[in-house]
């Protein structure tokens, strides 16, 4: 059996054995981030904030990790999915309570006002339809066929709302003559509101000042409820999720307010998310690692060197090659020589926190239950030793090299796999990048601070602006929660055959773009790691007694850091003044790049 070659991770004394009973949320030995625990990383904090700010993200997290009990959790690189789930469930409980209260307030208002509240409901409905037609896109890119009807409906709803509010005030404060005068004006204008006001007139349903005052009070009470809910979310963002308090996981209210199902699933997520055994679905085996970043592979013929004097080259298996690659990659943690030890120790390059470990990708097909996955140390070692040399199609062994930067907002992961077969060596390199979390989550501190420190008039104006959509939003919230509950009761997820992860919490909350600084860091990490991997393979070939010329020709450093790589799409050169040669033609590119 092949021996493990995983090096000692940074920040961990070589003589320290792995704890027998790690605390909840602690990753397995050899994979824990050296700078901070994943549950206290900045990426985790911002994803938890996103659970309060983005209802779509919150529902997706709950659906993936709480409703679909049969799905394995995707690898959590630099964050803790179980803590994000805890805050998603807490945010939903708060939102459900207020949604039920707001909807109940609108329903009770109908009998209490004898139907007079319809003077507000209809304009609110028109404003909601206008908002739905316009969509969430900014005006600069919203199609004209959406902008025009949305604009007309929005102003029509505002005019109706103004007329209804004026009628209610006259009904509450004015005399009978002024009420009938306004009612006549509305009816003559042919407005829909005039017809509604006629139905609500005193001689029809017997409404009076009391009903008018109750109708006026309803939107004010709804605005108060909306403001209190917003205040609760803002306090959560500025207190429990503040940078000062978030590292204290035991004091987090979301971690303590959990039921039996939530506790059981979160314990299961803690086992799976940082394990070196990756249970995957066939559709997306690298789920959780981010977007592929120019993956490549190459193969070469293993030819003995001519200077061996008749000696046979040493056997070269996959483990032997990896044992040469690991020390070179591990050396990236060491700062270059500086003028003094103090200056060298002050280097903060994220490559110092580079993590290296072995992972085995195992398909979920054939498992009778999610709990049957072999996450024990003995189970992992059996699959690791069996997969490293077999070169199988479904069970695959990778060396995983990870660099977490920008508070784990930029995660660069390189998966390396080598295999020797039939006198050939195959090298596969699959870089993946997790980009920063969405801007809305990154600005959570600013949003919450601005709301909490705004004056009362500003808060009141904001809350009143949200009142027209409050009933519709409450219905949507309750409908989504009912859908989750219905699927829990009827879909049979608890006893279904296990599935691989469908989505990753981190990928759900990731932005599509990164800053120029972050992209430069990603490029630097990838170039450094891939260069060391290539050098390690070269050293392994040379020391085993094999020719390296062919391999060196396929990975060649040229001017300005250009690299020649044979990938699945052909030959690619980066840089100027390069020459590309294959079986069919030779092309010189003195003025630019060709491939």
Structure tokens at 355: 């993590």
Q: Mean per-residue pLDDT for 114-140?
A: 75
**For the segment 48-99, what is each residue's pLDDT rounded down to a tens digit?**
999 999 999 999 999 999 999 999 999 999 999 999 999 999 999 999 999 9
Q: Say what percent of the chain tops pLDDT 90.
A: 35
Residue 289 has pLDDT above 90, yes or no: yes
Choose among 567, 72, 2: nearest CA to 361: 72
Q: How confident is the model at residue 156 (pLDDT cuts 50, 70, 90)?
A: confident
Assign residue 450 a region: left if phi > 0, alpha if psi is -120 to 50, beta otherwise? Answer: alpha
Residue 454 has pLDDT above 80, yes or no: yes
Q: Mean per-residue pLDDT for 31-35?
A: 42
Helical segments of 113-239, H only: 118-134, 144-173, 176-188, 192-199, 202-205, 209-238
Q: 65: burial class by Cβ within 10 Å (0-12, 13-18, 19+)?
A: buried
Measured in degrees and rounded to the nearest 5, phi and psi for residue 508 equal -60, -35
Q: Mean per-residue pLDDT for 261-268?
A: 90
How far apart, in whole angstroms, are the C-alpha atoms of residue 37 and residue 422? 44
Specify the range with the lowest mean pLDDT, choosing from 12-21, 260-269, 566-575.
12-21
Residue 306 has pLDDT above 90, yes or no: no
How far apart, in whole angstroms, are the C-alpha atoms of residue 147 and residue 495? 48
Residue 558 has pLDDT above 70, yes or no: no
The answer to whether residues 74 and 269 touch, using CB atoms and an 8 Å cutoff, is no
Q: How confident is the model at residue 298 (pLDDT cuts 50, 70, 90)?
A: confident
Please tell me the predicted confidence (pLDDT) of residue 4.
45
Q: Mean per-residue pLDDT for 30-47?
A: 73
Please tell me the predicted confidence (pLDDT) of residue 291.
93
Please tell me the predicted confidence (pLDDT) of residue 206.
59
More confident residue, 301 or 553: 301
Q: Mean per-residue pLDDT for 20-46?
A: 59
Structure tokens at 139: 């005006």
Does residue 211 sit in helix, strand or coil?
helix
The answer to whether residues 282 and 361 touch, using CB atoms and an 8 Å cutoff, is no
**For the segment 219-229, what is each residue's pLDDT rounded down to a tens digit?**
899 999 999 99
Specify the range with the lowest mean pLDDT, choosing from 31-45, 219-233, 383-397, 577-591.
577-591
Please tell me the predicted confidence (pLDDT) of residue 183.
55
More confident residue, 479 or 587: 479
Q: Mean per-residue pLDDT for 363-392?
A: 89
Q: Mean per-residue pLDDT for 479-495?
A: 88
Q: How confident is the model at residue 420 (pLDDT cuts 50, 70, 90)?
A: confident
Helical segments of 239-369, H only: 253-256, 260-273, 318-330, 341-345
Measured in degrees and rounded to the nearest 5, phi and psi for residue 34 equal -75, -30
Q: Mean per-residue pLDDT for 374-389?
A: 90
Q: Mean per-residue pLDDT for 491-495?
A: 85
Please tell me the predicted confidence (pLDDT) of residue 180.
56
Structure tokens at 550: 């062919």
Q: What is the 3-state secondary structure (H, E, C) of 577-591?
A: CEEEECCCCEEEECC
Please tell me the predicted confidence (pLDDT) of residue 141.
65
Structure tokens at 388: 């490293």
Please tell me the predicted confidence (pLDDT) of residue 207.
65
Please tell me the predicted confidence (pLDDT) of residue 166.
79
Please tell me the predicted confidence (pLDDT) of residue 587.
38
Residue 568 has pLDDT above 50, yes or no: no
Residue 571 has pLDDT above 70, yes or no: no
Q: What is the CA angle 7-8-11, rounded to 5?
A: 145
Give DSSP secondary structure letters for 381-410: HHHHHHHHHH--SSSEEEEEEEEEETTTTE
Note the pTM of the prediction, 2 decimals.
0.81
Q: How confident is the model at residue 465 (pLDDT cuts 50, 70, 90)?
A: confident
How far apart, in whole angstroms, are the C-alpha atoms of residue 84 and residue 505? 8
Query: For tokens 């001017």, what's the residue?
Result: 559
Structure tokens at 435: 């980009």
Q: How confident is the model at residue 327 (pLDDT cuts 50, 70, 90)?
A: very high
- Tell me the CA distances in angstroms from 169 to 158, 161, 163, one per residue in order: 16, 12, 10
Specify the range with the lowest mean pLDDT, choosing from 110-124, 231-245, 282-296, 335-349.
335-349
Q: How confident is the model at residue 525 (pLDDT cuts 50, 70, 90)?
A: very high
Q: Mean per-residue pLDDT for 170-180?
A: 64
Please tell me the predicted confidence (pLDDT) of residue 158.
83
- Residue 195, CB-side half-sphere exposure with 13 Å CA sphere: 4
Give DSSP secondary structure letters for 325-340: HHHHHHGGGSPPP-SS
When the pLDDT of each residue in the chain is averaged and rounded to a whole number, the result is: 80
Specify the range with the lowest mean pLDDT, choosing from 169-183, 469-483, 567-581.
567-581
Choose among 534, 565, 564, 538: nearest CA to 549: 538
Q: Say what percent of the chain tops pLDDT 70.
A: 79
How far apart, in whole angstroms, are the C-alpha atoms of residue 308 and residue 328? 26
Q: What is the CA angle 541-543-544, rounded to 5?
A: 65
Q: How confident is the model at residue 22 (pLDDT cuts 50, 70, 90)?
A: very low
Residue 300 has pLDDT above 90, yes or no: no
Exposure string over 150-187, b if 16+ CB within 10 A, otherwise e:
beebbebbeebbebbbebbebbbebeeeebeebbeebe
């Amino acid at each position: 059996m092949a021996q493990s070659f995983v090096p000692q991770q940074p920040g961990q004394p070589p003589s320290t054995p792995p704890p027998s009973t790690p605390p909840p949320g602690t990753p397995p030995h050899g994979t824990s981030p050296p700078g901070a625990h994943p549950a206290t990383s900045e990426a985790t904090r911002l994803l938890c904030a996103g659970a309060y700010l983005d209802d779509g993200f919150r529902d997706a997290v709950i659906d993936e990790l709480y409703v679909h009990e049969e799905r394995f959790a995707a690898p959590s690189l630099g964050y803790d999915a179980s803590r994000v789930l805890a805050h998603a469930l807490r945010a939903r409980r708060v939102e459900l309570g207020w949604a039920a209260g707001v909807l109940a307030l609108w329903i009770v208002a109908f009998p209490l006002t004898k139907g007079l509240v319809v003077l507000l409901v209809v304009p609110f409905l028109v404003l909601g339809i206008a908002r739905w037609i316009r969509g969430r896109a900014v005006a600069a890119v919203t199609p004209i066929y959406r902008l025009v009807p949305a604009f007309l409906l929005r102003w029509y709803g505002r005019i109706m709302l103004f007329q209804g509010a004026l009628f209610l005030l006259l009904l509450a404060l004015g005399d009978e003559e002024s009420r009938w005068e306004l009612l006549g004006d509305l009816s003559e204008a042919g407005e829909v509101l005039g017809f509604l006001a006629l139905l609500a007139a005193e001689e029809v349903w017997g409404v009076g000042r009391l009903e008018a005052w109750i109708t006026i009070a309803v939107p004010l009470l709804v605005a108060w409820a909306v403001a209190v809910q917003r205040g609760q979310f803002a306090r959560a963002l500025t207190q429990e999720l503040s940078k000062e308090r978030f590292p204290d996981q035991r004091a987090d209210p979301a971690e303590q307010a959990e039921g039996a199902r939530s506790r059981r699933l979160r314990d299961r997520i803690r086992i799976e998310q940082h394990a070196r055994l990756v249970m995957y679905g066939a559709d997306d085996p690298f789920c959780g690692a981010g977007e592929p970043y120019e993956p490549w592979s190459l193969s070469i013929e293993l030819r003995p060197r001519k200077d061996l004097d008749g000696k046979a080259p040493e056997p070269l298996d996959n483990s032997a090659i990896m044992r040469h690659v690991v020390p070179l990659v591990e050396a990236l943690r060491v700062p270059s020589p500086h003028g003094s030890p103090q200056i060298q120790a002050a280097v903060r390059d994220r490559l110092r926190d580079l993590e290296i470990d072995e992972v085995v990708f195992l398909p979920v097909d054939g498992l009778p239950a999610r709990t049957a996955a072999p996450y024990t140390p003995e189970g992992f070692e059996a699959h690791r030793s069996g997969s490293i040399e077999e070169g199988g199609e479904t069970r695959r062994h990778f060396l995983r090299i990870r660099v977490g930067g920008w508070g784990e907002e930029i995660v660069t992961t390189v998966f390396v796999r080598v295999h020797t077969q039939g006198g050939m060596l195959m090298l596969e390199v699959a870089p993946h990048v997790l980009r920063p979390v969405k801007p809305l989550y990154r600005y959570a501190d600013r949003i919450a601070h601005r709301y909490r420190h705004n004056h009362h008039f500003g808060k009141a104006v904001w809350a009143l602006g949200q009142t027209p959509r409050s009933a519709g939003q409450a219905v949507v919230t309750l409908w989504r929660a009912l859908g989750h509950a219905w699927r829990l009761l009827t879909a049979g997820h608890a006893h279904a055959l296990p599935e691989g992860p469908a989505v990753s919490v981190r990928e759900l909350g990731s932005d599509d773009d990164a800053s120029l600084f972050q992209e430069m860091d990603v490029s630097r990490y990838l170039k450094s790691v891939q260069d060391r991997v290539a050098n390690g393979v070269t050293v392994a070939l040379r020391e085993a007694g094999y020719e390296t010329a062919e391999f060196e020709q396929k990975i060649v450093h040229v001017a300005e850091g250009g690299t020649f790589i044979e990938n699945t799409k052909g030959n690619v050169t980066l840089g100027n003044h390069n020459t590309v040669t294959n079986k069919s033609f030779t092309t010189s590119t003195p003025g630019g790049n060709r491939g």
